Amino acid sequence: MGKSIPVSLSSGRSWPKKGDAEAHFKAMLGRYRVGERVLDSADHADLEALLSVYDADLQPGEPTKAGAGVAYFEKRLDTDHPGHTSCFFVVRRDETSIDFSYRRALDAAARQSR
């Protein structure tokens, strides 16, 4: 059996296992309707902290998800990927937006916790 890897975010949120963090963000995504902004301040803080982990894990020269800065997060359909799933999108201060995989970000957070 594999080792449990804890995940901690700068928002102050932490979980003893990556799977617990995944469950938290999956439940969060489920609380919002497609097209709905993330207005809960704790959810926004957790997503922003997770996004900073994601961006810190990028290779030099790769564009960040935060870009010009985060204005807000929103649940949208992600039609770029098979299955047309929903996910969080980062809406930046310059009004551009991009999808954001909480799972990929949690993978990065788990690597940083090792």
1 is a domain residue: no
Q: For 23-33, what is each residue's pLDDT tens digit?
A: 999 999 999 99
Residue 38 belongs to domain spanning? 7-113
Q: For 15-73, what is each residue's pLDDT tens digit?
A: 999 999 999 999 999 999 999 999 999 999 999 999 999 898 888 888 899 998 999 99
Q: Which of 101, 105, 108, 109 is nearest to 8 (CA)?
A: 109
Q: CATH number, domain at 19?
A: 3.10.450.40
Helices (H) and strands (E) in the chain, counts: 3, 5
Take residue 66 and report the two structure tokens written for it.
């935060």
2 is a domain residue: no
27 is a domain residue: yes
Cβ 72 vs Cβ 37: under 8 Å: yes
104 is a domain residue: yes
13 is a domain residue: yes
State the DSSP code for 7: E
With H, G, I as helix, E, B as strand and everything else as coil, classify residue 42: helix
Model-level pTM? Answer: 0.89
The domain tally of the chain equals 1
